[in-house]
Amino acid sequence: MIPHLTVIKAGTGVLTKSNDGTLDRAALVHLVAAISGLIHAGHRCLFVSSGAVGSGVSALGLSEYPKDTATRQACAAVGQARLMQTYSSLFSNFDVTIAQVLLTAADLATPERAGYVKDTLRRLLVEPMILPIINENDSVAVEELKFGDNDMLSVRVAKLAGAKRVILLTSVDGLLDPETNQRIAEVSNIDEVFRHVRDDKGRFSMGGMASKLAAVKFAVEAGIETHIAHGRHPERLAAIVDGTGISTKFPASAQSA
């Protein structure tokens, strides 16, 4: 749809403070500056942002991620407003206008509904200084309407939009070998790396490395180059897009359509 489109996904652990789940404004400023730099360099981006539930946790006086659906949805309703207000303010400093797109799995469940989403994204991406920010509509998405997590949401949107690459930002430099704790620079066979999965979920995070690898598998098989990179070092994004940055790279499958 848009040549060389990049989908960037930031998880809750990247966007919120680990001690209380509130938005980490310093981290957001850093990330917004990096994404804005890509946009001003002529790159087209979609930004999939977690953090709505986490940013609403403190407003409801909670000490950890809520387990019941009603409270989780209430946190999302409060947190999504906070999150977008923050993004709008920060991106405006770089003359970038944000557009909010909230989705549930039902929105991509049929060709007709997916087509509506695709048309909206296409129109937004024509505008060089507009950044679509996508999140799952957690305030209404019950289990049967959920993507699973924003990793899977990211890659499904990337396939719909015809993206060239997906960058999943997390709390580590990439996929780490559990024996050496060293970053694996490139993975050519996704099926061989599931043995590296470790339980790295945080209190305010829904997805661990296992979900990321499942999303990566979906993406590479759809012909989309995918990276796992450190979200607390967003200054590396430009180099990753250029092919030289610090990440674990998963090349698109040669057998993809």
- Structural domain contains residue 228: yes
Rounded to 10 degrees, the C-alpha dihedral 150/185/235/49 comes to 0
- Rounded Cα distance between 177 and 185, Å, is 10
Beta bridge partners of 254: none
- Structural domain contains residue 242: yes
- Structural domain contains residue 1: no
Q: What is the CATH number of the domain that holds 92?
A: 3.40.1160.10
Length of the chain: 257
Reading the chain (257 residues) residue by residue, the pLDDT tens digits are 577 899 999 988 898 887 776 788 999 999 999 999 999 999 999 999 988 887 888 788 887 778 888 898 898 899 899 899 999 999 999 999 999 999 988 899 899 999 999 999 999 999 999 999 999 887 776 554 456 678 999 999 999 999 999 999 998 899 888 778 889 999 988 888 766 565 454 444 444 677 788 899 999 999 999 999 999 999 999 999 999 999 999 999 876 54
State residue 216's pLDDT score. Answer: 93
* Tokens found for residue 190: 């996704």
- Structural domain contains residue 127: yes
Q: Structural domain of residue 89, as residue ranges?
A: 6-250
H or E stretch at 134: strand 130-136
- Structural domain contains residue 94: yes
Beta bridge partners of 97: 130
Give the count of domains, the chain.
1
**Helix, coil or strand: residue 166:** strand
Q: Using the structure block, give the residue that is written with the tokens 């500056």.
A: 33
State residue 256's pLDDT score. Answer: 57
First to last CA, the chain: 16
- Structural domain contains residue 257: no
- Rounded Cα distance between 133 and 97, Å, is 10
Residue 101 corresponds to which amino acid? V
- Rounded Cα distance between 44 and 129, Å, is 9
CA distances from 10 to 31, 124, 178, 211, 232 (A): 9, 20, 23, 14, 10
State residue 41's pLDDT score. Answer: 96
Residue among 79, 53, 85, 55 nearest 66 (CA): 53
H or E stretch at 100: strand 97-103
